[in-house]
């Protein structure tokens, strides 16, 4: 054997062998044989990711089991030397993700919230099963968490015009009436967070401005006389929504 063999270039070589005798008194006779040489594989290629890195978008709040992305690595060797196993090597300390060892499919193991994490930088490793030495390669999978607008409903008072009565000369702090505003996110929107339906009250306008107060911390009442007041309610994260 001379030169080097590379199974990945040519896995089989065929040789024709010639034998010649050398009789002193007659012409030589020849015989031939065909020799096939199979080049056995050595683990001399590491896995290569295709494409070399990954960037995926992931909607927040999707359930466990959702496919996030798929890492694919090719290995030019043969047999176990090309059998790739995948793992997440770094970037997932809180174990939001799980990768299929054989297919490279990355799935959610639990939902992610944009408010907690806006991006993950996963290191995905592919390792072949070559012996005595296995080879590996790493890539990054950036996961951009995409927020979902969960605040769908504005707070609503039961009526647009409300009337309360209070006798004159009552001491300051006398409760006039309770006017809760309902936010349907609390009851009809399973994806809503508490801030999406926690209602804050304030008095915005009216001739009684400064004489009446409204509790903004959830007792849901305000002090109101028979003067006209315009009130405004807002749920926490959004822009204030004028009462209709
Ligand atoms: Ca090889
Ligand atoms: Ca290999
Ligand atoms: Ca709301």
Fold of the domain spanning 149-244: Immunoglobulin-like (2.60.40)
Q: How far is the CA of 189 from the centre of ligand 3 (A)?
A: 9
Residue 229's nearest CA partner among 192, 203, 195 is 203
Cα separation, 175 vs 172, in Å, equals 9
Task: Quickly count: other Cβ atoms within 10 Å of residue 80's Cβ.
Answer: 13
Neighbouring-strand partners of residue 18 = 32
pTM attached to this predicted model = 0.61
User: Yes or no: is domain 48-146 CATH 3.90.1150.10?
Assistant: no
pLDDT at 235: 67
State the pLDDT at residue 87. 98
Predicted local distance difference test score (pLDDT) of residue 216 = 66
pLDDT of residue 12: 92
- Tell me what pLDDT residue 218 has: 46
In the chain, CATH 2.60.40.60 covers 48-146, 149-244
Residue 13 CA, ligand 2 centroid: distance in Å: 22
Which residues have beta carbons under 5 A from ligand 1 (an ion)?
41-42, 44, 77
Residues 6+ positions from 191 with CB-CB distance below 8 Å: 61, 148, 150
Give which of 182, 109, 181, 190 is closest to 148, Cα–Cα.
190
Residue 184 alpha carbon to ligand 3 centre in Å:
7
Nearest-angstrom CA–CA distance, 34 and 204:
100
pLDDT of residue 18: 92
pLDDT at 127: 98
Which pLDDT does position 242 carry in this prediction?
A: 46
Q: Kindly list the protein residues that place their beta carbon closer than 5 angstroms to ligand 2, a single-atom ion.
A: 43, 45, 75, 77, 81, 128
Ligand nearest to the CA of 44: 1
* pLDDT tens, per residue, the chain with 244 residues: 667 888 999 989 999 999 999 888 889 999 999 999 999 999 999 999 999 999 999 999 899 999 999 999 999 999 999 999 999 999 999 999 999 999 999 999 999 999 899 999 999 999 999 989 999 999 999 999 998 888 889 988 888 787 777 777 777 777 777 777 889 999 998 878 888 888 888 878 877 777 777 776 544 444 544 344 555 666 665 444 444 4
Give the per-residue pLDDT at 174: 76
């Amino acid at each position: 054997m001379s030169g080097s063999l590379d199974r990945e270039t040519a896995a089989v070589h065929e040789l024709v062998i010639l034998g010649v005798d050398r009789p002193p008194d007659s012409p030589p006779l020849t015989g031939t044989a065909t020799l096939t040489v199979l080049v056995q594989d050595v683990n001399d290629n590491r896995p290569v990711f295709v494409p070399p890195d990954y960037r995926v978008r992931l909607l927040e709040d999707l359930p466990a089991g959702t496919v996030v992305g798929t890492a694919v690595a090719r290995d030019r060797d043969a047999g176990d030397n090309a059998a790739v196993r995948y793992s997440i090597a770094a970037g997932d300390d809180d174990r939001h993700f799980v990768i299929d060892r054989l297919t490279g499919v990355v799935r959610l193991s639990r939902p992610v919230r944009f408010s907690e994490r806006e991006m993950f930088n996963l290191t995905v490793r592919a390792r072949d099963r070559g012996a005595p030495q296995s080879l590996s390669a790493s890539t990054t999978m950036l996961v951009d968490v995409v927020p979902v607008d969960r605040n769908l409903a504005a707070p609503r008072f039961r009526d647009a015009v409300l009337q309360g009565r209070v006798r004159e000369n009552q001491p300051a702090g006398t409760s006039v009436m309770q006017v809760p505003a309902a936010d349907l996110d609390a009851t009809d929107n399973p994806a809503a967070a508490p801030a999406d339906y926690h209602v804050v009250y304030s008095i915005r306008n009216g001739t009684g401005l400064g004489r009446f107060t409204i509790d903004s911390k959830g007792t849901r009442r305000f002090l109101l006389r028979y003067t006209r007041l315009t009130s405004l309610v807002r749920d926490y994260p959004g822009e204030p929504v004028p009462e209709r």
